Structure 1
Amino acid sequence: MKRILLLLPASSYRNEDFIAAAKKLDVEIISAADYCHRLAPGWGMSPISSVPFDQPEIAVHQVMESLGRKPDAVLAVDDSGLELAALLSERLQLPGNPPAGVWLMRDKLAFRRLLRNGGLHCPEFYHLTSETQPEQACSLSFPVVVKARRLSSSRGVVRADTQEAFTQAVKWVNRIQEKADRDGAQLGLIVERFIPGHEYALEGLLEKGELRVLALFDKPDPLDGPYFEESIYITPPQLSQAKQDEIAHTVQQACQLAGIVSGPIHAEMRLNEQGVWLLEIATRSIGGLCGRMLQHALGMSLEELILRHALNMPLPKVWQAEATGVMMIPIPKRGILKSVHHLDEARQVPGISDIKITASAGQIVSPSPEGASYLGFIFASGISPDAVESSLRHAHSCLQFDVQTEIPVTNAITHPGQAGCA
């Protein structure tokens, strides 16, 4: 029986899907998680369940001491474990991407430098160091985008059109980064010129350095700021094959520049009259539950395909029988989610295949740029991308979310899946 070491963040949407895929393939799972090391012993958890994913150099020793027999592959389920997975694969002499290349893709500043030095389209940018006063004048012409360096899902990304807005954005993004990233106070921020154009995303798999496109997604909602919360993904996009090939070629070039040669990638880009402008490339698959929209086209779950690749098992051919889409249900305002209404009505909308509400009643929710999650996911399929988009928007319009904006001060109860630890 093959064995795989899965790095499962405590708060990830995708843990259950990866575990289910491994069981379907009759693969032995060794799971490592990032629960708080102070709380985990009291919950009866082993040391491998309280690994500091955000300190990979320390975590690699902790995992190696707990590992026992060597696995056949190491796989990070989400962003937080990517660097650790690369280090473990290197230490165990397993196939994978070099740690330096994974780091280049995770750090937005390093990624911009990679694109610029590699001759790919890249906006003007600079590093706003942690020592720089936020009142300092922006050195680029407006509009600009202020970004946290290592956060995902548009968290800590704010557009500024004036000096006053820039000053406020810097203060705000600094606070978000310092709260979300262990090294946030020292990292500084990246400031770059806003890139006009329509946004797309590519889901792919690298096999010995060659990119295999699994899906190309259109994002029909304009993402022009001041915040960049993503909502709808639809595939296939209504885009010429030449443009699709240009996107794939650009993603392939960037991966080659970083030395990324194996495994899933998820790339975000803008397309305008000048060409393809990469926003970022993650060395993991699409986040949240969005990958479920690809199950029909793949003939299996996306997680099963990724495990098959990691374990050198046969892979399916990708075919696109119909248009599919997903809506990441946006959070309307910060507060406590009390309830969700009209869910049955939304599920009866033609074209809707499933709706998953992932936020729990009583959970504090917050929209972009502070939030790191969604209320849930709406899935649809149809005869055309337009039909899918219409179904998603109709179903969303049926739903009503009761969010209490006044957050009372109470004695907090920490749930293991949401625990934080210094």
Structure 2
Amino acid sequence: MSDRAATGRHILVLNRFDRSVGCDYTAYIDHGTDRVAYLCSAAGADGVDAAAAETVAVVDDLADRPAVAELARGIVDRHGPLDQVVALFERDLEVAADLRELLGVPGPRPDDVARVRDKVTMKQLVAAAGLRVPRFVDADDPGQVRRFAAEVGFPVVLKPRDGSGSQGICLVNSPASLEETLADPLPNHVCEEYVSGPMYQVDGVIQDGRVRVLRAFRLLNTCLDYALGDSFGSVAADDPELERRLTGYSEVALTALGVRSSVFHLEVFAVDPTGPGEYDGLVFLEVAARAGGAELPHIWRDVYGLDLLEVATRLTLGESPDLTPPDPAGEAGGYLLIPEPPVRPCRVLSTRSLLAEVPEMYAEVLPEVGAILNGTGGAKETGGRYRFRAGSGRRIEEAIGRVLAEYRLDWEPVEDRPVARVAGRAQSVARP
């Protein structure tokens, strides 16, 4: 047995991030001291340093739990028992919990992860802690959904109980639309009332039950709007008092869910206050025990100097990362996503770079000319991704408006016969 094997930890990392995410496990974990095995998707295999790894195993689908379990057992058989299992992507948290239970590894178990993955369990626990949540009902019974919609009024929202990134969400605006939606079974879904008001993404770090780092970003449109084909923007909130309130609010919500040390991504509505309490006017939507997605990991590294993926890794390994809270009155960050054209698949004919024209924009990712967009890329494969930094969120919002006004992507549907050139433009972000 090598000295490394005798003194270091044996760590299994589940990874689906490619290099574009900027997740650098060799910077997060000392591969010279610890033995690090990777179990990856095909894209994730490109995002790890195979030369530094003990081994890299690739699976077609990291959500295929039997296949993942078989590969993990093989790693244990060949290289010995595991000390830790690390997963940073939301859906992989459940797989990691299953592996810990299967292989006798310390860390969160399936019941622990369910509290931050199952939206019914999550809202029940948060409501029991005294925080306001949208009214909701299990959607397995169509009759129950009809009665609920009649009680709260339209629109209502139907979503998977364990969904993420607005995948599978339906906004139902009328009884007729509801009947059409209920024509097919909706297993493992929840029906919620629609909440109107400014919505915030809140990223932070809780350690030993205390929120150490937090920054709130006000949404210009919602993830649901983006899923329905509109642009999506997010800018840092210019409101230190709101962030102070959200710090305590996040501690209450995460404590209710049993989360003591983790990176988190909270989504909350700020509606008109209804009473004298500290958290009146805040309506909990959901929270995840992982870093925010889309451009947020980049914004946190570039603008706030903190790699939340590194923090998440170190907290999973039981370490105490260095944390410097960002100054709410300091530099602000923000981003914009423009969806793929409405007809897909389509071929990109031309794009227009705006990087030199908008001073507040510091990064721009456009699809390559000739690329085929097929509607499966989510927040990564888009019609355009933009990152901003400035002295205030207000300036970033103005810069986003300039990008939307000047954005251009020309495309053509992919068909068997030639078609005419079609121009695609961004839709305007609607201010809450």
What is the TM-score when the length of structure 1 is the normalising length?
0.76
Q: Does 1:254 align with 2:245?
A: no
State how 1:107-122 maps to structure 2 within 5 Å: 107-122=118-133
User: Partners in 1 of 2:226 and 2:373 — Cα distance?
Assistant: 26
State how 1:410-421 maps to structure 2 within 5 Å: none
1:201-256: per-residue Cα shift (whole Å, max 9, x none)?
11111212222233211113378969676711212x13351x32332322222221
Residue in 2 that maps onto 1:336: 345
User: Partners in 1 of 2:349 and 2:36 — Cα distance?
Assistant: 35
Counterpart of 2:220 in 1: which secondary structure? coil
Residue in 2 that maps onto 1:282: 288
Structure 1 residue 35: Cα displacement: 5.3
* C-alpha contact (below 8 Å) 2:12/2:84 kept by paired residues: yes
Residue in 2 that maps onto 1:362: 372
Counterpart of 1:382 in structure 2: which amino acid? Answer: A
User: Partners in 2 of 1:271 and 1:22 — Cα distance?
Assistant: 39
User: Partners in 2 of 1:186 and 1:166 — Cα distance?
Assistant: 12
Counterpart of 2:175 in structure 1: which amino acid? Answer: Q
Q: Does 1:63 align with 2:63?
A: no
* Equivalent position to 2:387, from 365, 379, 388: 379
Counterpart of 1:335 in 2: which secondary structure? coil
Residue in 2 that maps onto 1:86: 97
Counterpart of 1:145 in 2: which secondary structure? strand
* C-alpha contact (below 8 Å) 2:303/2:333 kept by paired residues: no
* C-alpha contact (below 8 Å) 1:234/1:326 kept by paired residues: yes
Residue in 1 that maps onto 2:399: 391
Residue in 2 that maps onto 1:200: 200
In structure 2, the CA distance between the partners of 1:197 and 1:322, relative to structure 1 (3 Å rule), is same
Structure 1 residue 381: Cα displacement: 0.9
Residue in 2 that maps onto 1:266: 265
* C-alpha contact (below 8 Å) 2:360/2:399 kept by paired residues: yes
Counterpart of 2:200 in 1: which secondary structure? strand
Residue in 2 that maps onto 1:22: 26
User: Partners in 2 of 1:348 and 1:161 — Cα distance?
Assistant: 40
User: Partners in 2 of 1:376 and 1:31 — Cα distance?
Assistant: 31
Structure 1 residue 279: Cα displacement: 0.9
What is the TM-score when the length of structure 2 is the normalising length?
0.75
**Higher Rg:** 2
* C-alpha contact (below 8 Å) 1:358/1:376 kept by paired residues: yes
Give the root-mean-square deviation of aligned CA atoms.
Answer: 3.6
In structure 2, the CA distance between the partners of 1:334 and 1:124, relative to structure 1 (3 Å rule), is same
- Structure 2 residues without counterparts, runs of 5 or longer: 1-7, 44-54, 275-280, 418-432
* C-alpha contact (below 8 Å) 2:137/2:192 kept by paired residues: yes
% identical aligned pairs:
20
In structure 2, the CA distance between the partners of 1:303 and 1:224, relative to structure 1 (3 Å rule), is closer
Residue in 1 that maps onto 2:423: none
- Structure 1 residues without counterparts, runs of 5 or longer: 37-45, 175-184, 410-422
Counterpart of 2:325 in 1: which secondary structure? coil
User: Partners in 1 of 2:124 and 2:326 — Cα distance?
Assistant: 36
Residue in 2 that maps onto 1:400: 408
In structure 2, the CA distance between the partners of 1:264 and 1:121, relative to structure 1 (3 Å rule), is same
* C-alpha contact (below 8 Å) 2:38/2:56 kept by paired residues: no
Of structures 1 and 2, the one scoring higher in RCO (CA 8 A, sep 6+) is 1
Counterpart of 2:290 in structure 1: which amino acid? Answer: R
In structure 2, the CA distance between the partners of 1:295 and 1:269, relative to structure 1 (3 Å rule), is same
Q: Does 1:294 align with 2:300?
A: yes
Residue in 2 that maps onto 1:232: 233
